[in-house]
Amino acid sequence: MNPAAGNVSMKNNRPILTLVRKDILLEIRQQYTLYGVLLYIASTIFVVYLSMGQPEESVWNSLFWVIQLFVCVNAVAKSFLQESRGRMLYFYSIAGARDFILAKLLFNLVLMLVMSFLGLCVFTLLLGNPLEHWFRFMGIACLGGISLSLVFTFLAAIAAKAQQQAAMMAIMGFPLIIPQLLLLMKIAGTAFSDIIQGGWWQMVFLLIGLDCLVIALAVILFPFLWKD
């Protein structure tokens, strides 16, 4: 990102869009990162196919979300870890803390939506399609991708200020992600049959509420980390 981009962001008062554009350009230039994640998705699912063939519905559902978790760690969690101190000081001079964290959340959200869609396509191609409602599961997969991306972006923002960044993400992420994965598996189970269990919509709204809570915490807490 050059100083001209910073001037544009201040002049048009659109620093969030400018920072998102910067991340998109970096992903395009550093294509090995994106291709590495895509290779990870394809190779992992292919290994599962070789070892299990086409598993039953519950196993299929569980494997999908576990793989989504590791895809999110590889694709999203690096967002803050790759930013140098000098680059962060430059961003500090052209944008506020809230604009910066919202831009990171938005970019990683879009990135994880793409990864979720591609992962689902490869999953159904190699491991079969036991889904009764494919589009419903695709919507749940997108919602799950959004939830995972928000949590790991928030964790990456905190871990970037620590010396043991990888260890911090693992320690903080485990108690947050496990309940979320269990909730996603429960919600996604309705896509395998025509029967919708009671309380399904309540679980969906609970997941959306957790996403809103993560966004609120990121917007409130990140400025204090930004000052350090």
pLDDT digits (tens, 9 = 90+) for 56-107: 888 999 999 999 988 888 777 677 766 666 777 777 777 778 888 898 899 9
What is the per-residue pLDDT for 91? 73
* 38 and 118 Cβ atoms separated by less than 8 Å: yes
24-28, 54-58, 101-105, 163-167: range with lowest mean pLDDT: 163-167
- Per-residue pLDDT at 4 exceeds 70: no
The pLDDT-based confidence of 3 (bands split at 50, 70, 90) is: very low
pTM of the model: 0.84
DSSP state of 83: -
Which residues, 6+ apart, have CB-to-CB distance to 226 below 8 Å? 92, 97, 100
* 66 and 35 Cβ atoms separated by less than 8 Å: no
What is the per-residue pLDDT for 55? 86
What is the per-residue pLDDT for 21? 86
Tokens of 160: 């970037």
Which residues, 6+ apart, have CB-to-CB distance to 129 below 8 Å? none
Using only C-alpha atoms, the chain has a radius of gyration, in whole angstroms, of 19
CA distances (Å), origin 78, targets 34, 69, 93, 157: 12, 14, 22, 10
Q: What is the pLDDT of residues 114-153, one digit of tens each?
A: 989 999 999 999 888 888 888 999 999 999 999 999 998 8
- Per-residue pLDDT at 19 exceeds 50: yes
- Per-residue pLDDT at 162 exceeds 70: no
What is the per-residue pLDDT for 81? 64
* 133 and 191 Cβ atoms separated by less than 8 Å: yes
Of the two residues 74 and 33, the one the predictor is more confident about is 74
What is the Cα–Cα distance from 95 to 91, expressed in whole angstroms?
Answer: 6
What is the per-residue pLDDT for 165? 61
Which residue's entry shows tokens 């997108």? 142
